[in-house]
Chains A and B, each alone.
Chain A
């Protein structure tokens, strides 16, 4: 059984002030763990995009880190509203973000594609009215 660490950070909907804090804490942990810089870079980008997705699009949720010497696993889970068409949401440039959110520099429709681009494994499940769960991981040694 490999040595592992687990953290869960609550992410509040609409809280742009704290938005990014969880990703920052995750990055610090990965640095303390001494992971290769390429892994840290990719994980930080994924964590930030996933956290901001919860802030912008959901009613709230949590970002979870499972870390062991072989793998960085990130799970973003929210309690709704869910994505109507996941394959559409995965397309670059597609976003349901409001004009106000876009004015803040978010909602360019690059969040999910960017996460998938930086992950070694990517899975997303969403049910309207229930919520969305995003599970990704990065292999520490391959990259």
Chain B
């Protein structure tokens, strides 16, 4: 199946088989089997909610280690706005310098790609009357639409995410000005989330990503923090580094994307809120909205599961930082429109719908299974306790109808079964063989005499 790669993984040894993650997974993609919380591949959207809620740190992200950068002659770090929000007292320039001291030759701010997108999206909205449009910047949202709201795929803006646009700009500049071939340039994203890692390793809308690898914010956080203290606040940025204005930087937080966009926009953060919003949209409830800015993490990317700082502090920090930056845009609109017309920003592939809820490829068979699901559900207690390993009774009923579980997985059903067996045993135990029983009600020859 397509999109089989997920960066969220289970560390088997750490998993205690509790039910925290199955209860919090927004797409009901986790089941506890044999004491371990397994992720169902085709349902996972890499949102990282399980990483957040696991008390045993058993859910992790598969991600590159920093050492990997040494394999490339020219090393570039892509820094998201959320990265700058992690260090409360550091200037943008200090952060650039600290990252370079990790071994990078160049730093590029992802906010720059976002600024390109501001202009490209405005143009796209002018040319396409379909509304509401869904932002494609958050890869978890794109994946969510793909697996749960495939009827809304047409509404997703088919333009690249800011990280991909920034990576293209980096490659363009480095190959032109430094004389490296593209394969000699390692472009690494320091990621606040698992979803962007998956989008880099196995992109949905193109064959391969322009980004070489992803490194976790968590991994570098401590080292950067240590370096920052010895870097002067007034250090200057090297000219080759790519920088963004506040317009691009604001994309790192909720309500920041649409600042430069025309029309009515609504911002939603948190994956559960986003799902409710998409449900409403699918029923035609949002006719007056032009642009839906949807972000899976609380507060936007600043609340990413691999970010270290408290998301609310990080959001405020980013706002403060943006107030100190040039207001932007720093770009020539004509240049960006030229790139837009060349097709530079478009997805290379459309999103392929994956109707993950479907019971069976054959509709008639699916209807039979739906009927089974309902009969089974009637026999379940409706407590959604999770002890069976499925998040809800309805979900267990679905799993049983799909042949993935059995009714006795429910401890209440199991108890009923045991009670019924025990009652049978009790009844049988009181039965006495005829040789020992009292005389039945008929006359015997002895009595006649």
Residues of A bordering B, CB below 8 Å? 2-5, 20, 23-24, 27-29, 31-35, 37-38, 40-41, 44-45, 47-49, 67-69, 110, 114, 140
Question: Residue A20 contacts which of B283, B360, B361, B373 (CB distance < 8 angstroms)?
Answer: B283
Once A3-B368, A33-B370 are accepted as A-B contacts, the answer to whether A114 and B363 lie under 8 Å apart by CB is no
Q: How far is the CB of B362 from chain A (nearest CB, A)?
A: 8
Question: Residue B360 contacts which of A34, A44, A114 (CB distance < 8 angstroms)?
Answer: A34
Q: 28 A-B contacts, Cβ less than 8 Å apart?
A: A3-B364, A5-B367, A5-B370, A5-B371, A20-B285, A24-B283, A27-B282, A27-B283, A28-B357, A29-B370, A31-B355, A31-B357, A32-B366, A32-B373, A32-B398, A33-B363, A34-B355, A34-B363, A37-B150, A37-B153, A37-B355, A38-B151, A41-B152, A41-B282, A45-B283, A48-B283, A48-B285, A140-B363
For window 337-389 of chain B, which residues contact chain A by CB distance below 8 Å? 353, 355, 357-361, 363-364, 366-371, 373
Known A27-B279, A32-B398, A38-B151; 14 more pairs at CB < 8 Å: A24-B279, A32-B357, A32-B358, A32-B373, A33-B366, A34-B360, A34-B363, A35-B363, A37-B150, A37-B153, A37-B355, A41-B151, A48-B284, A67-B367
Say which size band chain B's interface belongs to: 20 to 34
Contact A33 B282 (CB under 8 A): no
Q: How far is the CB of B260 from chain A (nearest CB, A)?
A: 27
Interface of A is mostly: helix
Q: Which residues in A have their C-beta under 8 angstroms from that of B360?
A: 34
The CA of A49 and the CA of B282, in the complex, are separated in Å by: 12
Question: Residue A114 contacts which of B284, B366, B367 (CB distance < 8 angstroms)?
Answer: B284
Contact A44 B282 (CB under 8 A): yes
Q: Which of A4, A5, A23, A33 has the most CB of B within 10 A?
A: A33
Contacts across chains A and B counted by CB atoms under 8 Å = 74
The CA of A2 and the CA of B361, in the complex, are separated in Å by: 16
Q: How far is the CB of B373 from chain A (nearest CB, A)?
A: 8
Q: Which residues in A have their C-beta under 8 angstroms from that of B285?
A: 20, 48
Contact string, B136-151, partner A, CB cutoff 8 A, digits 1/0?
Answer: 0000000000000011
The CA of A3 and the CA of B371, in the complex, are separated in Å by: 10
**Chain A residue with Cβ nearest B369:** A32
Q: Which residues in A have their C-beta under 8 angstroms from that of B353?
A: 37
Q: How far is the CB of B62 from chain A (nearest CB, A)?
A: 30
Contact A69 B363 (CB under 8 A): yes
Q: Which residues in B have their C-beta under 8 angstroms from that of A29?
A: 370
The CA of A19 and the CA of B369, in the complex, are separated in Å by: 28
Q: Which residues in A have their C-beta under 8 angstroms from that of B367?
A: 3-5, 33, 67-69
Q: How far is the CB of A115 from chain B (nearest CB, A)?
A: 10
Contact B370 A49 (CB under 8 A): no
Contact A69 B364 (CB under 8 A): yes
Q: Which residues in A have their C-beta under 8 angstroms from that of B371?
A: 5
Q: Which residues in B have their C-beta under 8 angstroms from that of A27?
A: 279, 282-283
Q: Which residues in A have their C-beta under 8 angstroms from that of B363?
A: 33-35, 69, 140
Q: Which residues in A have their C-beta under 8 angstroms from that of B152?
A: 41
Q: Which residues in B have their C-beta under 8 angstroms from that of A68?
A: 367
Q: How far is the CB of A62 from chain B (nearest CB, A)?
A: 18
The CA of A69 and the CA of B366, in the complex, are separated in Å by: 9
Q: How far is the CB of A11 from chain B (nearest CB, A)?
A: 14
**Chain B residue with Cβ nearest A2:** B364
The CA of A2 and the CA of B362, in the complex, are separated in Å by: 13
Q: How far is the CB of B377 from chain A (nearest CB, A)?
A: 12
The CA of A69 and the CA of B359, in the complex, are separated in Å by: 13
The CA of A82 and the CA of B367, in the complex, are separated in Å by: 34
Question: Residue B283 contacts which of A5, A44, A140 (CB distance < 8 angstroms)?
Answer: A44
Q: Which of B151, B357, B364, B371 has the most CB of A within 10 A?
A: B151
The CA of A4 and the CA of B364, in the complex, are separated in Å by: 8
The CA of A37 and the CA of B279, in the complex, are separated in Å by: 14
**Chain A residue with Cβ nearest B394:** A28
Q: Which residues in B have their C-beta under 8 angstroms from that of A140?
A: 363
**Chain A residue with Cβ nearest B150:** A37
Q: How far is the CB of A38 from chain B (nearest CB, A)?
A: 7
Q: Which residues in B have their C-beta under 8 angstroms from that of A49?
A: 284
Q: How far is the CB of B219 from chain A (nearest CB, A)?
A: 39
Q: Which residues in A have their C-beta under 8 angstroms from that of B151?
A: 37-38, 40-41, 44
Question: Residue B284 contacts which of A34, A35, A44, A69 (CB distance < 8 angstroms)?
Answer: A44
